[in-house]
Amino acid sequence: MSQAPSQNESREMLKWLNHNRQMLLDLYRNQYVAYNANGLIAHSENLREVLELAEASKQLFAIYLVLRRTASIQILPIRFRNV
C-alpha cells in the first residue's frame, strides 16, 4: 500500500510496537514483521514475502526488522599513567 500513515496512525503503530517488543524478540527474531496499530500482519525472513503479504491485506502497515539480539554498551574508565 503506497499510502503514508497520518501522524496519529504512526503514533498508534509505534505504541503497538513498543508494547509488543519483547514478544517480537521472543517469537520473530531475525525476521521482518509487518504490523499496524491492530497487530501483526505478516512475518518472514524474506522481506519481499512480507511486503507481498502485507500489501495483499489491504491494510496500512509498517515494516520492522527484529534484530537477532539486543545489546547494551558499557563504557569503561580509561586510566593513564606516565611512562
Cα separations (Å) of 38 from 15, 30, 55, 81? 10, 22, 15, 58
Q: Model-level pTM greater than 0.85?
A: no
Distance of CA 2 to the CA centre of its chain: 19
Instruction: Tell me whether residue 32 is exposed, middle or buried, using C-beta atoms within 10 angstroms of its C-beta: 0 to 12, 13 to 18, 19 or more.
Output: buried
- Segment 31-51, tens digit of pLDDT: 999 999 999 999 999 999 999
DSSP 68: S
- Segment 51-83, tens digit of pLDDT: 999 999 999 999 999 987 766 666 767 767 776
- Torsion, Cα 50 38 36 13, to 10 degrees, reads -150
